Amino acid sequence: MHAVEILGLTKDYLHGFWRKRPSRALDGLTLTIEPGEVFGLLGPNGAGKTTTLKLLLGLIYPTAGTARILGHPLHDVQVRHQIGFLPEAPYFYDYLTGWEFLDYCASLFGFSRGERRRRVGELVEKVGLRGAENIALRKYSRGMLQRLGLAQALVNDPEVLFLDEPVLGLDPVGRREFRDLILEFRDRGKTVLFSTHILPDVEMLCDRVGILNQGHLHGLGTLSTILALKVEATELMMGQVSPALLEELRARGNSVRITGDEVSVQVPEQDVDAILNLVRQHGGRLLALTPIRRSLEDYFFEQFGTERQLDLAERE
């Protein structure tokens, strides 16, 4: 049984005064996600990521297509007890404390008072809100609210976790803790589907990814499959580089970087043998040779031709 199964899922939104002008947000999406898998749904803003999550959660109805979660149809009440969801912009009752909010969420799943106390205590510790659980939510920072949102998504210990842009508002420490939490969740055999446009987190977390743009699926598979592990160039680090060798390297139009007594140069893959011969001829010493492979960031530039809608700079 698949954790998530999507077949031809399509969604049109109607616009205009008479709501007769359709625009397609999702176009025939088909994919499956297996139990115990962390799956990343990637794409620029407006690609259809949030629409996909809302369809899977039964918050909106599809124009066409079907989907199943843990073998259940989308609107089967039984599946509600087995999923968790963190929306991109969650709403909180700001007059409640963090503890009261999580206690309320746990009560919606029928937890007894003792079970709620135990579960909320565990979650407060797990998401790093210990010491802030009795503070009113109106005094929480954006990062604290994001941690609280993640805690409520976990309150029922779901089998499948849906997260929409889950690391927005988190500092580097919070992002690292989030990654550790997701990996722990996966190690317990749980399934995670999250949408994001922050690429470094995807490269660290995901077993597989789906690339969405303008409602269409442009790529699906492991990162190594999508990126094809193609070697784009090779970096050579050298020592004992004579002025003549340095001049030869620059004359070939290579990018040369000098650090102390070491010289690094990046060359196209087809030129590596020629440069190695050149180094030997001039008595240089090869210290390291490192293949430079295409990154997920490079893939996005090739596919979509822009970085404006992708958060490529958020790195620790």
- Say yes or no: 52 and 190 in one domain: yes
pLDDT at 309 over 70: no
Q: Among 225, 267, 227, which Cα is nearest to 248's?
A: 267
Instruction: Calculate mean pLDDT across residues 229-236.
Output: 72
Please state, in angstroms and rounded to a whole number, the distance separating the CA atoms of residues 69 and 162.
Answer: 11
- Say yes or no: 188 and 148 in one domain: yes
Instruction: Calculate mean pLDDT across residues 147-159.
Output: 96
- Say yes or no: 202 and 113 in one domain: yes
Q: How confident is the model at residue 250 (pLDDT cuts 50, 70, 90)?
A: confident
Query: Burial level of 69, CB count in 10 A (0-12/13-18/19+)?
Result: buried
Instruction: Calculate mean pLDDT across residues 178-204.
Output: 88
Mean pLDDT of all residues in the chain? 87
Q: Could you give the residue ranges of the DSSP H alpha helices within 137-212?
A: 142-154, 172-187, 199-205
208 inside domain: yes
Greater model confidence, 5 or 243: 5
Q: Using the 3D structure, point to which of 181, 203, 226 is the last residue of a domain.
A: 226
Instruction: Calculate mean pLDDT across residues 213-226.
Output: 85
Name the domain count of the chain: 2
The torsion of the CA quartet 304, 307, 309, 312, rounded to 10 degrees, works out to 120
Q: Give per-residue pLDDT as tens, 97-141.
A: 999 999 999 999 999 999 999 999 999 999 999 999 999 999 999
239 inside domain: yes
The residue range of the domain holding 236 is 231-293
pTM above 0.85, yes or no: no
Question: How many other CB atoms are found less than 10 A from the CB of residue 86?
Answer: 21
